[in-house]
């Protein structure tokens, strides 16, 4: 199989598997006071320290969650509630329209159920929010903004956002900015302290760690209202028994991903450039999504729209040839919908129906790209015929 869907999930790294396996047979709830509990607590705290060091954060800024989705929900809902509780006028939420559904739907839920007034920040044709756009939205009335949320790197088109500049604008007005950095870690430099963000989401299974573990990095001055109530773990912000084996493996993966980031960007970025060339040679009318400048996009991402094709047809035809990729778009009640991300960049809906995302990762090889290069021309031809019939 040729696996070109690492942005959906990437294989666990050997060091993460080893770290997790070693912990699976160790008993002890990290909240228990006896020796077994204290041992588990020590293991968790060591992992917390190493995760924090890898991400430029303080250990006390890490709130472990059951993945990126939960961390996004905690940031968006929790910060909204705490800011509105402190001042009922703060009900405006500023969000980019290219967010992952974990942010997008949390924001929309706040609008439907909690009286939030959502303002979608316009993006350019690469899906980027310019700091001036954020400033303009904030200055209209800084006092009514609960929070802003703009992802660090887009999971579909790979565009990087000017997170540090955006955070500087938000900080100037005392507004918390959250960034979903799930796709950014290990591919671009992510330093929580240097970014100036209030909160940042990371996830284990996108960087070679296990599924079901993630974290919200949270500046000490912010205290979101919890989404989950219970034992009061993690600064009273996220209750639930800590998953020691997953936490240890997540930290091991993060250490590896961050330590090898530059080499990854060079090698995988090179393969990605070859992939783009191959697709363009086979389908000259394919439109590259996101920023064409490699400095402005994730090194492992390539996104295309194929005129006259349905993304699902392309995906299934490639799947039949043993190649796994993604359309990036959602399916509602069995009907394929163009991606909200691609539409937000101004791509016409007809073209936005024919998208494919190829995402590379630590197991990708030149052979994978060669197999795709062979297949993509005939597949596009078949899909186009199916689209016309
Ligand atoms: C940008 C982004 N945010 C959040 C998530 C959700 O993370 P998780 O799968 O850990 O819940 C994903 C996963 O697809 C993602 O790509």
CB 373 within 8 A of CB 283: no
What's the confidence (pLDDT) of residue 331?
Answer: 66
Could you report the per-residue pLDDT of 91-130, keeping only the tens digit for each? 999 999 999 999 999 999 999 999 999 999 999 999 999 9
Q: What is the pLDDT of residue 344?
A: 97
Ligand 1 pocket: which of 67, 69, 190 to mutate (most atoms within 8 A of CB): 69
Asked about 325 being catalytic, the answer comes back as no
pLDDT digits (tens, 9 = 90+) for 65-89: 999 999 999 999 999 999 999 999 9
Tell me which residue of 269, 5, 315 sits closest to 160, measured CA to CA: 269
Residue 332, pLDDT above cutoff 90: no
What is the Cβ-side half-sphere exposure of residue 87, based on CA atoms within 13 angstroms? 12
pLDDT at 333: 64
The predicted structure's pLDDT at residue 238? 98
Residue 65 corresponds to which tokens in the numbers above?
């969650």
Cα(353)–Cα(385) distance, integer angstroms:
15
Please indicate whether residue 209, judged by its CB atom, sits closer than 6 Å to ligand 1. Answer: no
Stated pTM of the model: 0.97
pLDDT of residue 389: 59
Measured from the CA of 7, which atom of ligand 1 is nearest?
16
Q: Is 102 in the pocket of ligand 1 (CB under 6 A)?
A: yes
| pLDDT at residue 220 in the model | 97
Q: Which atom of ligand 1 is found nearest the CA of 72? A: 4
For residue 370, report the distance from its CA to the centre of ligand 1, in Å.
29
pLDDT for 292-307, tens place per residue? 999 999 999 999 999 9
Ligand 1, pocket-test mutation among 8, 102, 155, 211, most atoms within 8 A of CB: 102
In the predicted model, is pLDDT for residue 178 greater than 90? Answer: yes
Cα–Cα distance between 70 and 64 in angstroms, integer?
A: 10
Average pLDDT of the segment spanning 174-188: 98
Domains, the chain, in order of start with CATH, read: 2-9+261-388 (3.90.1150.10), 14-259 (3.40.640.10)
The span from the CA of 97 to the CA of 104, in Å, is: 7
Predicted pLDDT at 386 = 86
Query: So what's the pLDDT on residue 241?
Result: 98
Write out the two tokens for 124.
């350019």
Q: Is 83 in the pocket of ligand 1 (CB under 6 A)?
A: no
Structure confidence at residue 336 (pLDDT)? 76
Choosing from 319, 331, 346, 349, the catalytic residue is 331
């Amino acid at each position: 199989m040729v696996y070109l869907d690492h942005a959906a999930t990437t294989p666990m790294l050997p060091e993460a598997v080893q770290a997790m396996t070693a912990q699976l047979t160790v008993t002890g709830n990290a909240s228990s006071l006896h020796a077994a509990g204290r041992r588990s607590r020590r293991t968790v705290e060591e992992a917390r320290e190493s995760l924090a060091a890898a991400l430029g954060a303080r250990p006390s800024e890490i709130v472990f969650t059951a993945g990126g989705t939960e961390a996004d929900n905690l940031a968006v809902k929790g910060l909204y509630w705490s800011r509105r509780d402190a001042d009922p006028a703060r009900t405006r939420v500023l969000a980019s329209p290219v967010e992952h559904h974990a942010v997008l739907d949390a924001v929309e839920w706040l609008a439907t159920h909690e009286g939030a007034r959502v303002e979608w920040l316009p993006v350019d044709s690469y899906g980027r929010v310019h700091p001036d756009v954020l400033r303009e939205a904030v200055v209209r009335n800084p006092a009514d903004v609960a929070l802003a949320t703009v992802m660090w790197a887009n999971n579909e088109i790979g565009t990087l956002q000017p997170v540090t500049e955006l955070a500087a604008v938000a900080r100037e007005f005392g507004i918390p900015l959250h960034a979903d950095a799930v796709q950014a870690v290990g591919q671009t430099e992510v330093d929580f302290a240097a970014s100036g963000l209030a909160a940042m989401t990371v996830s284990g299974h996108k960087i070679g760690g296990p599924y079901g573990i993630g974290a919200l990095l949270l500046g000490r001055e912010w205290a979101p209202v919890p989404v989950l109530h219970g034992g009061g773990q993690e600064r009273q912000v996220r209750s639930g028994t800590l998953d020691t084996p997953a936490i240890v493996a997540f930290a091991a993966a993060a250490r590896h991903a961050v330590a090898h980031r530059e080499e990854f960007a060079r090698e995988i970025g090179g393969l990605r450039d070859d992939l783009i060339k191959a697709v363009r040679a086979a389908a000259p009318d394919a439109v590259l999504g996101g920023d064409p400048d490699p400095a402005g996009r994730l090194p492992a991402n390539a996104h295309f729209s194929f005129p006259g094709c349905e993304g699902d047809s392309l995906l299934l035809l490639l799947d039949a040839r043993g190649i796994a990729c993604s359309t990036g778009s959602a399916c509602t009640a069995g009907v394929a919908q163009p991606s909200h991300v691609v539409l937000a960049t101004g791509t016409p809906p007809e073209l936005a129906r024919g998208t494919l995302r190829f995402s590379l990762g630590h197991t990708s090889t030149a052979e994978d790209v060669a197999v795709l290069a062979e297949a993509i021309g005939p597949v596009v031809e078949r899909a186009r015929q199916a689209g016309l019939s």
